[in-house]
Amino acid sequence: MANLVLGTGTCGSCWAFSTTGAIEGANFIATGKLLNLSEQQLVDCDHQCGPNKKKECDSGCRGGLMTNAYKYLIEAGGLEEETSYPYTGKQGKCQFNPKKVAVRVANFTTIPIDEDQIAAHLVHNGPLAVGLNAVFMQTYIGGVSCPLICGKRWVNHGVLLVGYGAKGYSILRFGYKPYWIIKNSWGKQWGENGYYRLCRGHGMCGMNTMVSAVVTQAS
């Protein structure tokens, strides 16, 4: 239910990749078709703001929030495919064409911090957009990451939660731990072919504080 791992380049567009990944998964569950949707549309065209308008506006390569992006897509009428609006790795003039919309966003929901509920939503709704503290991802090369100290309040990176496992080895904890499987957007050469395994059950790195699911409809 997830496409191949791609890279954001030097553009801070992780939030856009997290958003499109969740929409692609939801659309696959609804239609059986795995589309490759346009992150660039979000980077160029989405300036949606949250309740705190001065601090939470989507700003292309300077960052954004997945829930803001869902709101933008509901208002804009949907999202184009990658083929019609390809990723450039930099912010440009909005080229959105409503006639080329491939998927529409009907609704979205934020998910409570309880990790059992997050797992249940993952099973029923497919990949989830997640925000977390990425400080320990900078040096990750593989295995289950269980940082001893990882601030839960400094959420600074958008990723895609795609699965979980019961038993993976953590070098730092000298044992086997349950884990989340996370799709990153730093390219296939990073981590485990572009994926990250993070300790499950402790709200590690704030991964349970900004989780959202989306509902799609055909264009």
Q: Which residues are catalytic?
A: 14, 157, 184
Beta strands in 111-145 (DSSP E): 128-132, 144-145
Helices (H) and strands (E) in the chain, counts: 4, 8
**Euclidean distance between CA atoms 118 and 37, whole angstroms:** 24
The strand order across the sheet containing 211-218 reads: 79-80, 101-110, 211-218, 128-132, 157-170, 175-183, 195-199, 144-145
AA identity, residue 52: N
Which positions ≥6 away from 118 have C-beta within 8 Å? 111, 112, 128, 161, 208, 211
Place of tokens 């309740």: 51
Q: Confirm if 200 and 180 have CB atoms less than 8 A apart.
A: yes
100: DSSP letter: G
**Euclidean distance between CA atoms 98 and 83, whole angstroms:** 15
Question: What's the gap between Cα 201 and its chain centre?
Answer: 20
